[in-house]
Structure 1
């Protein structure tokens, strides 16, 4: 297992990605059946759809579940011809009730792996036990640092010089669980939350499909 400097982002501020594996080690014998959960614009959702179309990830997205009626991710799903289901969290009294509805949709769509691509709700044992070790999350920091909301702002406020993003198996503890893949992004003196978030997102888009394949190899397809 090796690490690799990603010089495409900026030659003076390369990103460090780990692990990097040869493509043959990430080959999947059959397509993964994914269910994606998202709350916002859906850029990571679209990255996954693109990776699947380009045969970089052997998978198919069975369904998108979104909780915000105004989320732009719905439009992205429509563009890709992927079924989208709105489960507005405001319509449920408890988090567990929402997760039961989510599990029902995922099971109806024969989903094997649950991908949280900007899902801004805390999940419960209802979901995590239904898909044990098969719920994957992406977070804009180098976990275990800067968990929770405003991770980019937290990094800037702390004055750290390096942050990044992490793909991990979700557990009951927020932004915890086995780490699958990380990309480190240097913080520049002139960075704002927006500029830093944009540079982190570049790395999110690169590692997310790879990390999903890595999870399938590690925990079984």
Structure 2
């Protein structure tokens, strides 16, 4: 199954996915990277890992639909069957959701439905909860909703700083993400074979 990764930032989870692919642990073929930030570090990582990457500037389009329609052209050329969001800091719109129904996967650094949104590690830290976690889920037209694929808990030591909590959550992400992608791919293939 051909998969494309969407990312906006440093690309540590993208790099972890590629590491699992190189170890033969990823059941999908990552064929490209889409980035919405020209200077994002993930782009250099993609180049180093020989993954084709393209930057699409959202400000160059009249609206989200036009931006996503242009991305779709490349996705069709690559025969992409699933989109994986890896720190992609944009809300996916109707154009991509309609083109990939129940085939867009997101990594979220909390145990959804707890702590949705962009600051979930900080939110868990501020709430002084005894645990948080990591979720891999299919996305829909609601923020951080959609069918759960896999979740795992991260226990929080009350003495931890925010940095220590971030380190623990990221370590869980690197371990859980590729397993979630594999499970998502299996679910998509099962759905297709049942149609």
TM-score using structure 1 length: 0.82
Cα distance in structure 2, aligned partners of 1:101 and 1:171: 20
Matched, 1:89 2:49: no
Q: Distance in 2 between matches of 1:161 and 1:120?
A: 27
Correspondence for 1:144? 113
Given candidates 142, 155, 175, the residue that maps to 2:144 is: 175
- Structure 2: gaps of 5 or more residues: 191-195
Which of these residues, 100, 125, 143, is aligned with residue 69 of structure 2?
100
Residue 214 of structure 1 is matched in structure 2 by: 183
Alpha-carbon displacement from aligned partner over 1:2-54 (angstroms, at most 9, x marks no partner): xxxxxxxxxxxxxxxxxxxxxxxxxxxxxx21100000010111111111111
Q: Within 2, Cα distance between the matches of 1:162 and 1:92?
A: 41
Q: Which secondary structure does the structure 2 equivalent of 1:220 belong to?
A: helix
1:96 Cα deviation (Å)?
2.0
Q: Which runs of 4+ in 1 moved over 4 A?
A: none
The answer as to 2:44 corresponding to 1:66 is: no
Structure 1: distance between partners of 2:83 and 2:168: 25
- Number of aligned residue pairs: 190
What are the equivalent positions in structure 2 for 1:1-221 lying under 5 Å apart?
Answer: 32-220=1-189
Unaligned runs of 5+ in 1: 1-31
- Normalising by structure 2, report the TM-score: 0.93
Deviation string 1:43-91 (CA, Å, 9 cap, x unpaired) is 1111111111111012221110001111100111011111110012222
Secondary structure in 1 matching 2:101:
coil
C-alpha displacement of 1:112: 0.9
Matches of 1:193 and 1:93 in 2, distance apart?
39
Question: Which residue does the alignment assign to 1:26?
Answer: none
In structure 2, C-alpha distance between the alignment counterparts of 1:184 and 1:91, rounded to whole Å: 40
CA RMSD of aligned residues (A): 1.2
CA contact (8 A) 2:28 2:185 kept: no
Q: Secondary structure at the match of 1:157?
A: helix
Whole-Å separation in 1 of the counterparts to 2:158 and 2:43 = 36
